[in-house]
Structure 1
């Protein structure tokens, strides 16, 4: 025993000699003290030679605490001399002390006293020491030394070392150690298999994971709940949902972790039907499962389902966190539902999460997309702390609402703080410049992005610049910028040029942009329709027919345009072009006819080239009258009180004629009208 203890002290000493910190001087003295109680004088001589001034160091321990970590200070009263025990060395106190260690040096200090008091063979203490070491340090040499000094390591000590290699590498060593463990007759525990599966995930070997599963079955762990949950988690990490589902189906017992792991896995893979079935069947639904379903519905463009599920979650009394709320806020933003937006905001306030930076930034984005930019700005103003995401959300929201001056003012305020703009911030700034035709200001911002902030312009930023130049009529300049781009232009860049060609009827550049878009997005029907519209605007009907023939040959289908309006009771009413299925259809069309007559008096002239069909002007006007956003507007006027803001959301961009119609309708009806994400300029109160 003395010889083995001596060997451990020598190894520990050699690792300490390499450091020059003051904490090590205390550790050296502790080791010298431990050797003074031993008959082995050679070790004492070896440790003593490390410092010629060891007597002065030893004497300083009794009078100063400067060389000792602060969490050892409660034991100072026990110090009297080098030869008096410093710690109460009961295992429980040593283990508690390990939880407070903040560095490998602190752990070595504890190890020194552990050696001194003969606890170097305690599996319990050494396991805790080894696990703590692997958390604080990635070097596995010392933990391996700790393991080797134990004559009869138990399963927990083996597992601790396997886990260390699984976390810090080399990963293969974790699997090799398991083989050694079995050859040495140690029986694995459920935690052993957890560590092994971590190693399998780290090396990306599903075959190794299946081998681990075979061992769990061979050793009768196939009914162990913890092991089976670990297997499900492991297979999910590999993307092997069929294996995970098989483990789940064969489990004799399942808990909330079992159900939640698989629900989350299906939701992340966008298999919402399978996720919903599991969710409905689950007897255990925790916050994680609810949140996964809500966020996945929002991410898969199913905002209604997300909001309905959140309503059920609140009714069930399940607590929510910021992740849940961000998912719900995203759903509200997609739906453009103002009452839902206010409800979610109230929930955030009730939960005390409205001051959360992530939630606050999401609320700004939500209100902006719901058409309530004033409320978005109120949330922004109330935030006690702002980061780049809250500033960016506010700038982008103002820009999309055409309030470019306000967006640039917020950007100026941001530059006066310590918050540095990111790439999204500059997309908002460039969009603001584009909507107001501020070409010079946009150029300056584009240049300063790299020169002042070190942000390399991406294809998205170039798309903003092309849009800025294109809207200003500088189409050739925009095209030259595309040709000189240091990055490959994506569909957004060419789409911005094509859109500008639509505004200025530049057929030649439109054909160049369209050819590129047909290569990048061969199935994108919108690009084909936009080129067809450009041909129609200049009366090139043969080319219109050619493009439409191309659409038919490719089998492309246009997404149906529809608009929706949120009623006072929170119900969403959807309308398609020419829709007559609504219970109030007769009243809707009567009201629209009345509006048309009043608008004619104000001088409204239909923008007939908004219709791309080769039909008579009367037929074109008839088609425009039945657009879905006009039906939604009429229903909004019928179903709300005078003075109420009308907010209409559409899945496609509003046509030029409808935009003109909405602008004049807001004057006639004396209402504020918000269409999709843009303010419709109107009477007092509008900019």
Structure 2
């Protein structure tokens, strides 16, 4: 099969036809340069440098069809573009281009050969191929050596990478940075630090590589210490720190760091909005979204921004603002990809819009664990057990492995239906069949299921068998079940633990007082209410509201 045909098939799904490409170097105006080989090369290289790999490859296809012989620089640019395609496409094109190089007699030319080595280094399990290519090169430059080093680091072969690094006849700052970042990513922070300190010169990427290692470990104290020592910080430095604080739930430190930034680009805004959205500060996330669009900021949101804001709307159950965000996306010309569609269907599900959620789900090009789990959880929350089970079966049939959220949705669905035995079977299958360790949310739901069905002792024994310290939500579920079934003894145990974990929460005191009252133990009920008064614990008044636009 001709190379041009292979390229066309792989890029045509998302790239316009080459006959409609209008590159400034390849137009039909009177001042246009003729489409010689050098002109094609300039057009291909400029498209590759601008991050438009599919257009660069389409231009390369046109070059081949024009009868012109591609020069080494055009081939190198095409190989660079292939490395930016999805793995499935780049894996298919790499060996074809390799054969293309051999046919053109350019297998030993340093530029396309180095580009080919770099391409292979980005593919899974390719370290052997890259090393072979390097051995075949009559002339090797530092870029060639860096390609094989990158390949070893990506494969996780740190011993081979370290040996290669020591053997390299020449090293530049990219070589050092790659090794420091690779060691840090592998968890060898002591080795990364020693190498970092011995570097002949450092740039912001050198510091970022080491900082990322400490952030990945969760050691934000050491990461901040390094960040404060940096002579010059890039935007990536700030975002790395903000993302680290996000993962450990330190919203305050992330916010303070964001405000210290002199120049905040879109990536920084997205990082801080994501920080608030992921840590339960949904209102603050929406406020930041509004702030970034103020005239004095003038920042236009992108897909990532809208995804975070839709997540915040879901947490608040704010369908009205969520629909406004959806219209804002359309007005901005942003197409709904699978990620944004999943964020929208999560909003619809949490606001009761099951039909619209199912419509969005059916339109997804690729259904992954996130979209399946969101749908199953939504069905569970809305009491649609049959749909939840069917989605779970479809998920397994599609070879999509479930995660912890998937089982939260399933157990919630069984809880709504009151199916205790089925829930227990599902809970047991998490570890035995799917190798998913239950977390606090799963135990809370199981305690609630058992408790509501009157199996209080089983619920209590489950709590005692938990591999982690029970959260107040678990004891609260048992306490509520004791209130439903008027169990004084277990109610006192559950309440005692709730008081220790959340001493200022009045609801647990009220539940225990009601249990005493139902059992006719008025003296204990009176004594408990007296304690509440002495501690200044007052019952919060109940309230409810309906937002306009909540009905589908």
TM-score, normalisation: structure 1: 0.54
Partner of residue 195 from structure 2, selected from 212, 217, 224:
212
Q: Secondary structure at the match of 2:73?
A: helix
Q: Is the 8 A contact 1:449 1:455 kept in 2?
A: no
Matched, 1:275 2:275: no
Q: What corresponds to 1:318 in structure 2?
A: 299
- Say what the alpha-carbon RMSD is for the aligned residues: 5.0
Matched, 1:179 2:166: yes
Inter-partner Cα distance in structure 1 for 2:129 and 2:391: 49
Inter-partner Cα distance in structure 2 for 1:247 and 1:194: 16
Matched, 1:540 2:521: yes
CA shift in 2, pair 1:190/1:496, >3 Å: same
Q: What corresponds to 1:46 in structure 2?
A: none
The within-5 A match list for 1:361-510 is 361-366=342-347, 369=350, 372-373=351-352, 375=353, 377-381=355-359, 384-385=362-363, 387=367, 393=374, 396-397=377-378, 400=381, 404=383, 407-408=384-385, 410-411=387-388, 414=391, 424=405, 427-428=408-409, 431=412, 434-435=415-416, 438-439=417-418, 443=421, 464=445, 467-468=448-449, 470-471=451-452, 474-475=453-454, 477=455, 479-480=457-458, 483=461, 488=466, 495-510=476-491
Q: What corresponds to 1:300 in structure 2?
A: 279
The within-5 A match list for 1:18-37 is none
Q: What corresponds to 1:653 in structure 2?
A: none
Matched, 1:346 2:327: yes
Matched, 1:523 2:506: no
Inter-partner Cα distance in structure 2 for 1:95 and 1:426: 48
Q: What corresponds to 1:18 in structure 2?
A: none
Deviations 1:625-644 (A, max 9, x none): xx4335xx6xxxxxxxxxxx
Q: CA deviation at 1:162?
A: 2.2
Deviations 1:572-619 (A, max 9, x none): xxxxx7xxxxxxxxxxxxxxxxxxxxxxxxxxxxxxxxx7xxxxxxxx
Matched, 1:158 2:145: yes
Inter-partner Cα distance in structure 2 for 1:239 and 1:415: 34
Deviations 1:284-340 (A, max 9, x none): 322221121112112333223211101012334434344433322333344454543
CA shift in 2, pair 1:108/1:463, >3 Å: same
Q: What corresponds to 2:541 in structure 1?
A: 628
Of stretches 124-133 and 104-113 in structure 1, the one that deviates more from structure 2 is 104-113
Matched, 1:331 2:312: yes
Q: What corresponds to 1:602 in structure 2?
A: none
Q: Is the 8 A contact 2:412 2:445 kept in 1?
A: yes
Q: CA deviation at 1:75?
A: 7.2
Deviations 1:630-681 (A, max 9, x none): 5xx6xxxxxxxxxxxx439xxxxxxxxxxxxxxxxxxxxxxx9x9xxxxxxx
Q: Is the 8 A contact 2:181 2:209 kept in 1?
A: no
Q: What corresponds to 2:154 in structure 1?
A: 167
Q: What corresponds to 2:179 in structure 1?
A: 196
TM-score, normalisation: structure 2: 0.65
Q: What corresponds to 1:266 in structure 2?
A: 245
Inter-partner Cα distance in structure 2 for 1:395 and 1:292: 28
Q: CA deviation at 1:416?
A: 9.4
Inter-partner Cα distance in structure 1 for 2:313 and 2:65: 60
Q: CA deviation at 1:171?
A: 1.0
Q: Is the 8 A contact 1:166 1:198 kept in 2?
A: no
Q: CA deviation at 1:535?
A: 2.6
Q: What corresponds to 2:41 in structure 1?
A: none
**Structure with the greater alpha carbon radius of gyration:** 1
Q: Is the 8 A contact 2:121 2:127 kept in 1?
A: yes
Q: CA deviation at 1:533?
A: 4.2
Inter-partner Cα distance in structure 2 for 1:488 and 1:196: 42
Partner of residue 268 from structure 2, selected from 283, 286, 289:
289
Q: Is the 8 A contact 1:260 1:285 kept in 2?
A: no
CA shift in 2, pair 1:414/1:140, >3 Å: closer
Q: Secondary structure at the match of 2:546?
A: strand
Inter-partner Cα distance in structure 1 for 2:291 and 2:121: 44
Q: Secondary structure at the match of 2:122?
A: helix
Inter-partner Cα distance in structure 2 for 1:193 and 1:238: 21
Q: Secondary structure at the match of 2:542?
A: helix
CA shift in 2, pair 1:202/1:551, >3 Å: farther
CA shift in 2, pair 1:540/1:330, >3 Å: farther
Inter-partner Cα distance in structure 2 for 1:76 and 1:360: 40
